[in-house]
Amino acid sequence: MKDDSEPVIRLRSAAFGYEGRAVVSDVDLDINHGEIIAVLGPNGSGKSTLMRGVLGLNDHVSGEVELFGTPAAAFKERTRIGYVPQRHTLSGSVRATVEEIVEVGRLPHRRWFQRASAEDRRLVAAALAEVGLGDRALADVSTLSGGQHRRVLIARALAAQPDVLVMDEPTAGVDTASQEVLAEVLQSLAATGVTMVIVTHEIEALRGVITRVVEVTHGHISFDGTPGEYGQRFARTISDDHLHVPGAHDAHHDDEHQVPGPSYAVGPLDPSPRHEGGRRG
């Protein structure tokens, strides 16, 4: 039975890193069902290490990690968490159709050598329609643009029917038009109730989608709150420092779902690691 009241991901004093050395530490975070969270922060601050650590893809150094109420070490239902990795496009040398790549998302649900069922095919078609590539199912992936590759990878993750989708910079490295399409895809996914955690530098592209902002600075969570609170903090930092940074004029927006803060393409906010905005419990 799925229990929507328990956090999807729960971290307490968690630390993640490499070869036993923590890069991100003291992380207390509850990610709840239906949230669309932007994970922001300067380059190298530890965003990917945090999210990959939650997924078990790098070292869990200390603290507690629970996935759907189960300690991560004992968690078996890996298909409940979908992952779209960073800077990943499909290799030009891959000879496969779009549909074949997305079908890979169904493999964890099948036994070895079992053929795709009608349900598998239906879910692949639905995932492709969701990302707006329903008419490209039979196209060779080598003929697609970078933005379309990202959408194929999102469709592959969706085909596994995850309860939460973790995406590492889904809009990075694609042209503005593709970014807009990706933002629309994320918007329509949000409407389906999928919980999403999106590591991003291009927060403007996700304006209107995000319900919560978590900022990582120097390996610590430096902010956790609504987009509106984040914008106010940003405005305060700007006026304190007498800086002019593009985007600051939006900072007093009332709409909690607007994202008026900085894009890290613009520049880091405040390098001091400190908690503001309050943890969600």
What does the binding site for ligand ATP look like in residue numbers (CB under 6 A)?
18, 23, 41, 43-49
In the complex with ligand ATP, which residue's Cβ is closer, 47 or 150?
47
In angstroms, give the least distance from the CB of 169 to ligand ATP.
7
- Rounded CA-CA distance 203/245 in Å is 15
- Rounded to the nearest 10 degrees, the angle between the axes of helix 118-130 and helix 176-191 is 130
- Rounded CA-CA distance 180/192 in Å is 19
φ, ψ of residue 17 to 5 degrees: the values are -175, -145
In angstroms, give the least distance from the CB of 85 to ligand ATP.
11
In the complex with ligand ATP, which residue's Cβ is closer, 22 or 127?
22
In the complex with ligand ATP, which residue's Cβ is closer, 46 or 260?
46
In angstroms, give the least distance from the CB of 47 to ligand ATP.
4
- Rounded CA-CA distance 42/218 in Å is 8
In angstroms, give the least distance from the CB of 185 to ligand ATP.
21
| Residue the block writes with tokens 């503005």 | 176
Which string of DSSP letters, residue by residue, matches 27-84? Answer: EEEEE-TT-EEEEE--TTSSHHHHHHHHTTSSEEEEEEEEETTEEGGG---GGGEEEE
In the complex with ligand ATP, which residue's Cβ is closer, 120 or 215?
215
In angstroms, give the least distance from the CB of 203 to ligand ATP.
13
In the complex with ligand ATP, which residue's Cβ is closer, 15 or 128?
15
In angstroms, give the least distance from the CB of 182 to ligand ATP.
17
- Single out the residue of 104, 174, 178, 90 nearest to residue 140, CA to CA: 90
Contact 31, 197 (CB under 8 A): yes
In the complex with ligand ATP, which residue's Cβ is closer, 56 or 132?
56
